[in-house]
Amino acid sequence: MPRVGLNQQAVVREAARLADEVGFQQLTLAALAGRLGVALPSLYKHVRGADGLTQKLAALATAELANDMTSAAVGRSGGDALRAMADAYRDYAHRHPGRYPATQRVPDPADPEHVEAGERAVGAIFAVLRGYGLTGDDAVDATRALRRALHGFVTLEAAGGFGLPRDVDRSYRQLVASMDISFRSWPASDG
Amino acid sequence: MPRVGLNQQAVVREAARLADEVGFQQLTLAALAGRLGVALPSLYKHVRGADGLTQKLAALATAELANDMTSAAVGRSGGDALRAMADAYRDYAHRHPGRYPATQRVPDPADPEHVEAGERAVGAIFAVLRGYGLTGDDAVDATRALRRALHGFVTLEAAGGFGLPRDVDRSYRQLVASMDISFRSWPASDG
DNA sequence: AACCTTGGCTAAGTAGCTTAGCTTTAAGGC
DNA sequence: GCCTTAAAGCTAAGCTACTTAGCCAAGGTT
């Protein structure tokens, strides 16, 4: 029995690749083990079963997405920053259709890297909102609104949920434009 | 073997109740069969397996949601109608936590009732948007934006995804208020 | 060289879904 | 009132996927 020499990182990275190829839902331990050239139960030496694997995948994907969003916004502000970040978000979902769904998982408090990645993602949005003069509770609400809008879009897009015949890129630009308007005239916090 | 006397409707209705109790993900054929007092394979006489069951559940839930949204908006217009409909949407998700996720399933073209329910739901939103003077492509984009916003909110809320400490009802009102503003100054279609 | 941690394995068991094929109920025609 | 038959139930069997238990060998450490 020649050793393959796996470790957790190698397993999770391969899982990410596989997920992008076959889809998040189709990511199975059996397929992953086959890809890595080991028997299925061997994976348990590296990750805590199927759930542990998806949690680690979530941590990886969240970190990647946070990176992309941050780099997109750097050196920009206001509507420019918003558009750049929104594009980076959608791009990531397109480039990594299998990893993207994992980013929606609530960070595991027991995994510091996961928690940190989540905070960086939120922080990137916060930074953009500061350009609109939004801070404190307003920024919290606005962050939620933006996350929802972006996530909702790419999810429905991926599901083919846009039955209505309308150019999708354009819809996205419209969405971002409307968020821009919302943020500029954000309802007063005591509303 | 005394007959229970099931039919498709009885099976789907019980599935809806069960889903609300144990959660959409935990809705299993085994649990449903136990609840109905029949052996698991007997369900196949009424629905086409697990997938067929969730599709029928989706049709039921979508119809219910469309009804609620429509009744909420009737006799109102503009921001009033928007708020009422948004509240009805979130209420439904709260009252039927197990059915709600099923409403996100793309309508099955082979199931006329499902298709019709989906059209009624979109139609209810369209009617409200007409009050903002939005029609045609603008209404399409705005409908997508509203669906996303509402769905995103209740999904994140259900997932406990609002880690940030902030009153959730209030966030919802803010969200709806910001949609109201967006719709009143919707970007021109040629933007 | 002996040790012992680690990464691999096989075997076995669980949960859930599905199909095949049989039996019985109960409705309808004669 | 019987006979036929479609429908509704059943058991048996098999599939996929995940999980646990327990064993063995590879290979670094002392």
Percent of chain B scoring above 70 in pLDDT: 93
| pLDDT for position A128 | 97
Instruction: Check: CB of residue B6 under 8 Å from CB of residue B38.
Output: yes
Query: Which nucleotide lies at the shortest CA–C1' distance from B31?
Result: C16
Q: What pLDDT band is residue A14 in, cutting at 50, 70 and 90?
A: very high
Query: Which nucleotide lies at the shortest CA–C1' distance from A1?
Result: C8
* Bases of chain D with protein Cβ within 7 A: 7-13, 16-22, 25-27
Whether B187 has a pLDDT exceeding 60, the answer reads: yes
Nearest to B140 by CA among A180, A172, A87, A142: A172
Nearest to B171 by CA among A139, A53, A4: A139
Q: What pLDDT band is residue B191 in, cutting at 50, 70 and 90?
A: very low
Q: What pLDDT band is residue A191 in, cutting at 50, 70 and 90?
A: very low
| pLDDT for position B135 | 93
Query: Which nucleotide lies at the shortest CA–C1' distance from A32?
Result: D17
| Stronger pLDDT, B159 or A49, i.e. the higher one | A49
Whether B186 has a pLDDT exceeding 90, the answer reads: no
| pLDDT for position A188 | 60
Whether A187 has a pLDDT exceeding 80, the answer reads: no
| Stronger pLDDT, A167 or A134, i.e. the higher one | A134
Q: What would the pLDDT profile of A70-115 be if each residue is shown by its tens digit?
A: 999 999 999 999 999 999 999 999 999 999 999 999 999 999 999 9
Our measurement of the distance from residue A14's CA atom to the centroid of its chain's CA atoms, rounded to an integer in Å, reads 18
Average pLDDT, chain B: 92
Sort out which chain A residues have CB atoms less than 8 A from B151's CB and list them.
148, 152
Tokens representing residue B167 in the block: 């009153």
| Stronger pLDDT, B103 or A170, i.e. the higher one | B103
SS (H, E, C) B108-165: CCCCHHHHHHHHHHHHHHHHHHHCCCCCHHHHHHHHHHHHHHHHHHHHHHHCCCCCCC
Nearest to A128 by CA among A67, A183, A62, A171: A183
Average pLDDT, chain A: 92
Percent of chain B scoring above 90 in pLDDT: 76
B21 in contact with A at a CB cutoff of 8 Å? no
pTM of the model: 0.89
| pLDDT for position A7 | 96
B30 in contact with A at a CB cutoff of 8 Å? no
Which of A157, A173, A178 to mutate: most B Cβ within 10 Å? A178
B174 in contact with A at a CB cutoff of 8 Å? yes
Whether B149 has a pLDDT exceeding 60, the answer reads: yes
Q: What pLDDT band is residue B62 in, cutting at 50, 70 and 90?
A: very high
Tokens representing residue A141 in the block: 């609400």
Residue nearest to nucleotide C26 (CA to C1'): B3
- The alpha-carbon gap from A28 to the nearest alpha carbon of chain B, in Å, equals 18
